[in-house]
Amino acid sequence: MKKLIALSTALALGLTVAACDGPKENAAEDVGEMQEEAVDDQADAMEDTGAISDTQEEAMTDKAEDKADAMEEAGEDADQADGTTADPT
């Protein structure tokens, strides 16, 4: 359930700001989200089998989210350097 809420929130926020994103930011964000989802699935499976604790599962998930955010920021920086990001102001 927690994962569903997080994914729904991320999708809603993504649709809200998508118009302001440049192509490199969008591409980096998509890749980051796919990688994050794969790690989330793996961590959930590991926790379900008892291979890791809930705390370890949360740490894996948090690290994957941080990596996805960093990828998106790098894409945004690349778009700004190229002048392809719309000015949100």
Question: What is the domain partition of the chain in residue ranges?
Answer: 2-82
Matching residue, tokens 């980051």: 32
Contacts of 22 (CB under 8 A, 6+ apart): 75, 76, 78, 79, 80, 82, 84, 85, 86
Give the HSE-up count for residue 2: Cα atoms under 13 Å, Cβ half-sphere: 7
Global pTM reads 0.67
- List the alpha helices (DSSP H) in 18-53: 23-48
- Among the residue ranges 16-20, 34-38, 50-54, 64-68, the one predicted with the least confidence is 16-20
Give the pLDDT confidence of 27-36 residue by residue, as tens digits. 888 899 999 9
Distance CA 20, CA 17 (A): 6
